[in-house]
Structure 1
């Protein structure tokens, strides 16, 4: 009994401390579960019309330059091109060109020349594919640079010359310098390969064309 009597004051003090701390513990609340809270916006939504931006995949342009017809010399050439860019590296293109061929060099050998009026129209229509090989920049001065690309191009087509229409090929190289996102200056060098029958002899000819022009993208 003496041991219990000695421990009784300590037990009474512990019970008193527990009673005093119970109200403080009751005031502590568990944190709210934020996952169960749903925020409902009170803003009325409105219809938004999305702007339409051009893709710039289509290309159209005019060109002019010199066309060297084998055996007949060089003359002015002009035409137009329409293309579609499949990817950043590949594009396809259709081109129409026209030049006037003179037989003046043959009049020294053949009286009256080869062509009855002295001049003959040469027209071609080509469908080609091209690949961009060297994208880069062209600098104009120290602080002005424009994007550029060098490409290889080749395809098939038809050529009408001296009353004959022949199938042929074209191979070449070109360069574009972009002045804006929608405009570029272009330089092309092309070899038009087709057969022609003159003076009763058919032969395959190589006809070089050097041209420059402008292209617009939309």
Structure 2
């Protein structure tokens, strides 16, 4: 009987020691959890929905890769979201084109010189306006914790479309020299091209979002200095936009 009591006492002491050791850990875990209590409410599902809504975007575009001309465009884009992932849109943009500080020409038999007006009339890239249609696929919708205070909602998309691109006619040396001397502008030429790109959308409110897109426009240009055939151009633009969704609230779920 005495041995049994001693064994029971030992087991009781072991249980009390285990509880005493676990208590600080539980308190510490609760303290760590309390540090984030009330900071960010749990978020599940897609808070900002696009399906069945129009999106009107004011855009600003800047060219990135043209050694002769910098393009500064402004435009509007109107899109409709068929589903949360798929959308179609139409866009128009126009603006100003200016020669870059690195616009130089390097003839075969002499050194490089700054391009004059007659030389610039012989190179492509002086765009005037772009009108096009686009389809977009946004397979990614994500959320980010911002300084443990807010949740930022965003999506990522892949873009592709067809465009009508208007640009100044590219001239041969003789015609370019004559036109530069006259002070007149070259004729406006339009050609069909296309683009592909990547886009991101950061939601500010249920009806408002920021957009960032990078697009590569591809189109053919007749360049007399290159002989017969078209010279294929790649014009890369970065586009920043502010979008308004219509209607202002999410469509009800089916």
Q: Which residue of 2 aligns with 1:187?
A: 212
Structure with more helix by fraction: 2
Q: Structure 2 unaligned runs (5+)?
A: 1-50, 106-113, 169-187, 247-254
Q: Which residue of 1 aligns with 2:58?
A: 62
* Cα RMSD for the two superposed structures: 2.6
For residues 19-66 of structure 1, give each alpha carbon's deviation from its aligned partner in whole angstroms, at most 9, with x where no partner exists.
Answer: xxxxxxxxxxxxxxxxxxxxxxxxxxxxxxxxxxxx861000111131
Q: How many residues align?
A: 163
Quick one: structure 1 residues 93 and 135, their matched pair in 2 at CA, closer, same or farther if it must change by over 3 Å? same
Task: Give 2:148's match in structure 1, choosing from 142, 161, 169.
Answer: 142
Q: Which residue of 1 aligns with 2:190?
A: 165
Q: Which aligned pairs between 1:87-126 and structure 2 lie closer than 5 A?
A: 87-103=83-99, 105=103, 108-110=114-116, 112-115=118-121, 120-126=126-132
Quick one: structure 1 residues 73 and 138, their matched pair in 2 at CA, closer, same or farther if it must change by over 3 Å? farther
Once structures 1 and 2 are overlaid, which stretch shifts more, 159-168 or 75-84? 75-84
Q: Which residue of 2 aligns with 1:47?
A: none
The whole-number CA distance in structure 1 between the counterparts of 2:88 and 2:164 is 17
Task: Give 1:154's match in structure 2, choosing from 160, 166, 187.
Answer: 160
TM-score normalised to structure 2 length: 0.58
The whole-number CA distance in structure 2 between the counterparts of 1:62 and 1:133 is 23
Could you tell me whether the CA contact under 8 Å between 1:72 and 1:101 is conserved in 2? Answer: no
Runs of 4+ in 1 over 4 A off after TM superposition: none
2:213 equivalent to 1:213: no
Once structures 1 and 2 are overlaid, which stretch shifts more, 84-93 or 192-201? 192-201
TM-score normalised to structure 1 length: 0.66
Q: Alpha-carbon deviation of 1:101?
A: 2.7
